[in-house]
């Protein structure tokens, strides 16, 4: 096996930068990644500015955010609930609860005031909060006008090569990749040291999902400080976008809508630029070194 002297065998990209050509390549890649994130930021802002997205957000805002306790009550009584609202709230949204549907029991807070006597004999009014049982209904128990949605299209393109490269990246990082037909609407998951990828979609979608989960594996399990789920989804999807775009796979429609739905915008993307760029570059470098390892038997590559 030949190891070419001018390109040191690299476990990571830093070794590469010490040589002149490597530094140029690293700088060029870095610039390209920044351009890609800029393009994504523009696409996300375009989604947010669209009329259909505003209508969607407007309706979203009319759904109540339930407390943790109520969320558990809803999930135990109706595990498949997606959108939940009270009888009158559904009427206002142009939908009606079907006859005979049983409501989901939750606790609703109410304010009360009462008079009480102080130690000195004077009376005072005190405010308090009590809870009473009320019922809500899932969208599946209602009929009527369709709720506005934002379609996040799956990637239809085939990208067998990129998928193979990314499986290689996972392998080099000791991340187990499990493919399978999972539940409806499931694309993938990062489980710290292993990822699940739904193989019921085109290989382009699978590659996009794998890049997204690899980003979660890198960024969000050993992270210092705290971050929100929305910030994590924005970063993972932006990394997937950059990696896919680098290898010629267009996932802009899906990535921009996905990020917009998680509340992301261009400002949030720019705030995370360093983390996105570094993670994307690491995956791209690993994927490229996989390719050179594959070419090694023909004597042109570098064994790393």
CA distance 223 to 252: 27
Binding site for Zn ion (CB under 5 A): 233, 236
Q: Quote the least distance from Cβ 53 to Zn ion, whole Å.
A: 20
Distances (CA, A) of 224 to 115, 217, 227, 269: 50, 14, 9, 19
**Cβ nearer to Zn ion, comparing 85 with 239:** 239
Sign of the C-alpha dihedral, residues 112, 137, 153, 235? positive
Helical H runs in 123-264? 160-172, 203-219, 229-246, 252-261
Compare residues 233 and 285 and give the one whose CB is closer to Zn ion: 233
Label the pairing between strands 194-198 and 176-180.
parallel
Q: Which residue has the tokens 């109410």?
A: 110
**Residue with Cβ nearer Zn ion (47 or 97):** 47
233 versus 286: smaller Cβ distance to Zn ion: 233
Least separation in angstroms between residue 15's CB and Zn ion is: 31
Report the distance separating Cα 223 and Cα 215, nearest Å.
12
- Nearest approach, Cβ of 240 to Zn ion (angstroms)? 9
Number of residue whose CB is nearest Zn ion: 236
Q: Kindly tell me the sign of the dihedral angle through the C-alpha atoms of 14, 18, 21, 27.
A: positive
141 vs 209 by CB, closer to Zn ion:
209
* DSSP run (H or E) holding 114: strand 104-117
Q: How far is the CB of 237 from Zn ion (least distance, A)?
A: 7
Residue 172 CB, nearest approach to Zn ion (Å): 21
- Tell me the closest approach of the beta carbon of residue 163 to Zn ion, in angstroms: 18
Q: What does each C-alpha distance from 124 to 111, 116, 199 come to in angstroms?
A: 16, 5, 66
Tell me whether residue 33 or residue 219 sits nearer to Zn ion (CB atom).
219
């Amino acid at each position: 096996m030949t190891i070419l002297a001018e390109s040191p065998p690299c476990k990571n990209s830093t070794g590469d930068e010490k040589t002149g050509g490597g530094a140029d390549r690293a700088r060029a890649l870095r610039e390209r990644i920044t351009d890609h994130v800029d393009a994504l930021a523009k696409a996300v802002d375009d989604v947010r500015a669209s009329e259909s997205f505003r209508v969607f957000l407007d309706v979203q805002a009319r759904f109540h955010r339930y407390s943790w306790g109520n969320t558990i009550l809803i999930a135990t009584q109706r595990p498949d609930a997606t959108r939940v609202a009270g009888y009158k709230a559904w009427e206002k949204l142009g939908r009606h609860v079907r006859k005979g549907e049983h409501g989901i029991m939750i606790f609703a807070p109410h304010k009360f005031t009462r008079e009480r006597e102080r130690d000195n004999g004077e009376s005072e009014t005190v405010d308090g909060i009590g809870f009473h049982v009320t019922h809500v209904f899932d969208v599946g128990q209602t009929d009527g006008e369709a709720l506005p949605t934002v379609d996040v299209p799956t990637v239809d393109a085939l990208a067998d090569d990129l998928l193979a490269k990314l499986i290689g990246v996972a392998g080099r990082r000791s991340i187990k990749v499990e493919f399978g037909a999972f539940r409806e609407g499931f694309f993938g998951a990062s489980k710290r040291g292993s990822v699940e990828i739904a193989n019921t979609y085109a290989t382009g979608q699978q590659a996009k999902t794998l890049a997204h989960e690899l980003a979660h594996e890198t960024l969000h399990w050993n992270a210092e400080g705290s971050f929100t789920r929305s910030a994590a989804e924005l970063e993972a999807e932006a990394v997937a976008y950059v990696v896919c775009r680098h290898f010629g796979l267009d996932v802009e429609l899906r990535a921009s809508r996905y990020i917009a739905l998680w509340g992301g915008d261009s400002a949030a993307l720019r705030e995370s630029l360093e983390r996105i760029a570094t993670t994307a570059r690491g995956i791209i470098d690993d994927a490229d070194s996989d390719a050179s390892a594959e070419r090694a038997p023909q004597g042109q590559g570098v064994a790393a």
